[in-house]
Structure 1
């Protein structure tokens, strides 16, 4: 019989792997959710996986990384933090990586890159400058509540959301600062950023409302619920959880190799070894033919504009990554080989994730509607709702005009200043519409921080701006 392979069900998912059996047993022994514990565990596995361990170029020209973002869904007190603590018990060794909160998009680059004086710089001769080096090759962002992440992303001019999107895709991070000694750039394949956050349904809109950028689609959504949990606490599972980080540590690049990569800025610009070999080889995971076929079908549908609308456009790539992490979790003799069972398990888990996400978003919307109905019943909604809607309209309009300025300035500079001498700020202001002019200074700050433009010194000390030298 031909056709698609039989899909896994939930019980087959947990029973078809000794590792997953142990995770479910240990979660139930500790009275936590197996789903949430598994999600947090996969985030920790992705963290210890070196940045040069990648999935193959199933489509396109370049291999992809294994970064994973996990959203643990539950109300206050449901055990989001407990599940992360159990995962920490199962995978305690993150190879000296700290768990931190994201402060800003620009700040994420400092987790991986730093600058230090060039060799021979004795402190008196500052003309030798500094060099870029790798501070750390991996990081795990731990955000107990999505609200704190949303507050940071919601600040006017914040670059946190686009940086998180870039980091998930494994793209270079950092900007082109005017001062070379302050430039921090993190090259592709030279870092691995993962994230775990707790999401209460009431706050699900913080992610759901960003579906246009693809942010919620990139998350693996897990629930704190376990409807199959026994009434009597089961005993601790026998045996031990066999995942060890040492095998992954053997694959990671040396500090010296990473520093050369950071200095060069990209693998392609690194000097070849004396024997002509690759100076920064990638460890490419191996997938069954069914995965290549699925990736090809997905790309044909995208090219034909036949993909379904909605939040599932990244589900295939997420499934590919989850399959790789599930394979690494097994720690078979062939560490980087993904089996067909791994692939089918990843398909079940991502389908389960999509269902969890949709239920969370729907519940959050129902809660918002109930609160609004309560306010109307109390007779206070008519005035405050109108004020709230007017304020929201003003904020949206301000954000829209700021974004218009941010989008307009680079194109204007490209056309008017191809030699990058710099355009006076007054000229920029005069060529903007009157309605957009109040947002020019903030737009310039955003573009300066992200390294898109640079400040130039005018002949009489005035401010001039040009596209940054990439």
Structure 2
């Protein structure tokens, strides 16, 4: 392995990737990469020697590899140097030793849902906190209606609201964009949402919608650049979830090859149908209702699902340009609208968070599907009519493409720019790591809030409500991370207990074999005439027999028990039965 040099405290992303590798290799560190072994060993070295819990053997494996590479003395020195650096870095950052840090290198603060005692102050990270619920669902008649009718239908209110916002974005014309506030590229309204809940927790019910809202699309908006453009597009299908079997398949939701019959010629004759790419739809909802389906696709060797989903949420060009025209499929940037939903059980979300290096989990909105305050007393009311705003007629942008931009107030723009500067400078509190896309996701939610209320501008009101939505998302994601950490710790405790039990079993089996060897040696010596040498004892047994394998241990046991005595000689020791007192 490379020299075991300290390069920084291991992060949450490091933890996920290293443990995945450990798990893939049958939890055998000898089969893992130097990188993965080194990360776990570095966590151990944050602790003082008396507090270490090297149940997995990572530190021991590092020592073994270093000894093989540079020798015992240099290996010990490398580990000591790493230990000092790791402990110093942890002391500087703060937090609990022997743990990972945030992806930005700051100490991780474990937020827990707690009940505060009288007079005590407690950090509450409950995604269903009353104050947060009031801040978000008390915003307007629409949000209050969603809360009331979600509970009347036994649907998680947060999931119902986030899906309503997603559908509002989905029904927004594909040529509507967010302005380029940082960088030179505009942004799409497309989103990806993780519906988080336990098995049977209402994830599938959430995507059904339950008839809470009824959408009324402005007819003028549909004129010219229609939402319904495409041979398979109609209002009902826009809100019908689709599924895909690969990343490449996402582009085929919008454009795909079809047999097209040419227009009749001047003689009224038509030629043979030819395969060509045609526009199918402008808007699509991708839904992964089963997390196992999503995980199986994203885990495949060479899978393009993660990069294609990232491009999908960015509104970037989708598809691949293959050598074979028959398999070629693509759609240009900002010529489609889409949302994606993934139903996730907290303990199965590790594969999503593992993609932090690529930027996938940063683009997710995390939403709870449960409702601790659910009741059976609600009264169902008819769906509330939502009149979507008119976006006017799109004008050609610099690329000669139709475009209308959501208006964003200057105060919101200033905050986005200020946060971006903090991130570039890596200042304290900067939005980095898993929060690196937070403001963009927040701006998308703010735009969806505006659309849900019939508006086309993001003001301080929408921006503030979007912060409440992001606070819920942050708390749900933190809960998922805590679940993964707890599952990981419990698994390691279980494996440690299993290892101990296996070691106990091995020890018991070894003791039984030594006992068998001792009994066998005693019986053989009773048939001999006088003291015998260890070589004679070994020669008397079959190859691989306990008498040969455990000869020395068996002789020591018999001496301790007083069955035989050791007769020391100049050349070789001999053994005799005590009862016979032979010399």
Q: Classify the TM-score, shorter chain.
A: 0.5 to 0.7
Alpha-carbon distance change, 380 to 124 in structure 1, aligned in 2, over 3 angstroms: farther
| Aligned mates of 1:289, 1:118 — CA distance in 2 | 52
Cα shift readout 1:282-322 (whole Å, capped 9, x = no counterpart):
12111222210012112222332433543111100000000
Quote how far apart the aligned CAs of 1:120 are. Answer: 4.6
Structure 1: 4+ residue segments shifted above 4 A? 91-95, 116-126, 250-253, 266-269, 378-383
What does 1:4-403 correspond to in 2, within 5 Å?
9-86=132-209, 89-90=212-213, 94-97=235-238, 98-115=240-257, 117=260, 119-120=262-263, 132-180=277-325, 182-230=327-375, 233-236=377-380, 240-244=383-387, 280-306=401-427, 307-331=430-454, 335-378=455-498
Gaps of 5+ in 2: 1-130, 217-234, 504-583
Q: Report if the CA contact (8 A) 1:202-1:365 is conserved.
A: no
* CA shift for structure 1 position 63: 1.8
Aligned alpha-carbon RMSD (Å): 3.0
Distance 1:88 1:164, change over 3 A: farther
**Whole-Å Cα distance in 2 between the matches of residues 367 and 92 of structure 1?**
42
Q: How high is the TM-score relative to the length of structure 2?
A: 0.55
For residues 424 and 324 of structure 2, the distance between their equivalents in structure 1, rounded to whole angstroms, comes to 42
Closer, same or farther: CA 308–60 of 1 in aligned 2, 3 Å: closer
Q: How far is 1:281 from its partner?
A: 2.4
Relative to structure 1, the CA distance from residue 29 to residue 175 in structure 2 (aligned partners, 3 Å threshold; closer, same or farther) is same
Matched residue of 1:225: which SS?
A: coil
TM-score normalised by L of structure 1? 0.67
The worse-fitting range, judged by mean Cα deviation, of 294-303 and 32-41 is 294-303
Partner SS, residue 355 of structure 2: coil
TM-superposed deviation, 1:137: 0.6
Contact persistence 1:48–1:95 (CA under 8 A): no
Deviation at residue 360 of structure 1 after TM alignment: 1.4
Deviations 1:11-50 (A, max 9, x none): 1321121110100000111122111111222222222222
Q: Which of structures 1 and 2 has the bigger CA Rg?
A: 2
- Structure 1 runs not aligned, ≥5 long: 1-7, 258-265, 270-277, 384-470
8 Å Cα contact 2:212/2:383 also seen in 1:
no
Deviations 1:167-223 (A, max 9, x none): 111110112121345432201111122111111111010211111111112111111
| Range moving further from structure 2, 114-123 or 170-179 | 114-123
Does the 8 Å contact 1:208/1:216 carry over to 2? yes
Which is further off, 72-81 or 369-378?
A: 369-378
Deviations 1:91-142 (A, max 9, x none): 579542341222111111110112455845877579xx76543211111111
1:252–1:379 Cα change, 3 Å: farther
Is the CA contact (8 Å cut-off) linking 1:288 and 1:340 kept in structure 2? yes
Q: Deviations over 1:360-380 (max 9, x none)?
A: 121133124324433443459
Is residue 214–residue 385 contact of structure 2 (8 Å, CA) maintained in 1? no
Partner of 1:409: none
Give the Cα–Cα distance (whole angstroms) in 2 for the partners of residues 357 and 14 of structure 1. 20
CA–CA separation in structure 1 for the residues paired with 2:362 and 2:184: 23
Would the alpha carbon gap of residues 189 and 370 (structure 1) be closer, same or farther in structure 2, given more than 3 Å must change?
same
CA deviations on 1:347-401 (whole Å, 9 max, x unpaired) are 1111210111111121133124324433443459979xxxxxxxxxxxxxxxxxx
CA contact (8 A) 1:112 1:137 kept: yes
Q: How many residues align?
A: 347
